[in-house]
Amino acid sequence: MNELVQQEQQPATQLQAIDSTPARLLEMAVSKDLDIEKLEKLMAMQKEWEAGQAKKAFYDAMAKFQNECPTILKRQTADFGAGRAKYKYADLGEIAETIKPLLAKHGFSYRWSQIDEKNVITITCVVTHLLGHEVTNSITSALLDPGNNRSINSIQLIGVTVQYLRRYTLTSALGLATADYDSDGKLPDPVVTITEQQYSQLIDLLNASNGNEAAFCKIVAVNDLRQLAADKFNQAKAVLDKRLEKFKNAATN
């Protein structure tokens, strides 16, 4: 008997909770012909309540999305040429395909807006939840330096910059993680390779000691000697100096 009473009371409790929402209060106010000022206050209360519920649902869903989203691997390479930085990065298309099913599962969508002003581009990513709450993330940048790729035209350069900013605004807004630090843009502290002058010094030492550039590249673990990190130059030069000394000694004996 007690169980039946509890089961009958439960819907009544739920109904009471529903009836106390701003929407229900507004409905009751309209039915009782309240004045405009009171109705406006109730409408504002309803709007605020709905916004709070949407915000809560957004962050609940975002926590679940981030928990399920895998780390995205960086498979693309940005190479700015000899003496410039070279990095791997996560492609925007691959990011989109990876997150697409999880976004749909948790009720998210995203879009971008773009502002161009005198070769300065601002990209804003807007992430929206199905209940209406949204967050935005904006980044502004001058057109990215194309490095040694001087054949790229101005329209293509805008496209490269836009893709770069879209990727970063999206990953930031969603809290996505890549396999390691993604830094294919122009950085304040890039990894610097040896200069042409330093490269020539190494080549001169190789030639003087009857050395082979390809073989020496294997020793210093680079595919191209010009890609040798600047902080490795002294070490590489010391190896070749020692090699040249041995070569001269062997020639005089």
| pLDDT band of 78, cuts 50, 70, 90 | low
**Better pLDDT: 90 or 31:** 90
> What distance in Å separates the CA atoms of residue 173 and residue 100, rounded to the nearest whole number?
15
Does 94 score more than 90 pLDDT? no
Q: What is the pLDDT of residues 107-127, one digit of tens each?
A: 999 999 999 988 889 999 999
Nearest residue to 80 via CA among 193, 172, 188, 180: 193
**Phi, psi (5° rounding) for residue 78?**
-110, 120
DSSP 183-205: --S--SSPPPBPPHHHHHHHHHH
Answer whether residue 191 shows pLDDT above 70.
no
Comparing 28-42, 65-79, 155-169, the range with the smallest average pLDDT is: 28-42
| CB neighbours of residue 41 within 10 Å | 14
For the record, the structure tokens of 113 come out as 């807006």
Confidence of residue 131 (pLDDT cuts 50, 70, 90): very high
Residue 58 and residue 169: Cα distance in Å, rounded?
Answer: 18
**Residues paired with residue 125 on neighbouring β-strands, in sequence order:** 112, 137
Q: Which amino acid is at 12?
A: A
User: What is the rounded CA–CA span in Å between residue 146 and residue 140?
Assistant: 17
Is residue 176 a contact partner of residue 92, using CB atoms and an 8 Å limit? no
Q: Where exactly are the structural domains of the chain? A: 2-57, 76-174, 196-252
Does pLDDT of 34 surpass 60? yes
* Pair of tokens at residue 190: 């890039």
Q: Which of 42-46, 135-139, 177-181 has the lowest mean pLDDT?
A: 177-181
Its pTM stands at 0.54
Cβ-based burial of 117 (10 A; exposed 0-12, middle 13-18, buried ≥19): exposed
What DSSP designation does 224 have?
S
Q: Report how far apart, in Å, the C-alpha atoms of 144 and of each of 78, 99, 141 are.
A: 12, 26, 8
pLDDT surpassing 80 at residue 202: yes
Q: Which residue has the higher pLDDT, 16 or 130?
A: 130
Q: Tokens representing 123?
A: 């990209």
Q: Of 55, 71, 76, whose CA–CA distance to 175 is shortest? A: 71
Q: Which contacts of 219-228 are long-range, i.e. CB under 8 A and separated by 24 or more positions?
A: 224/82, 225/194, 225/199, 226/82, 226/83, 226/193, 226/194, 226/196, 226/199, 227/82, 227/86, 227/193, 228/193, 228/194, 228/199, 228/202
Span 150-170, pLDDT tens digits: 566 778 888 888 988 999 899
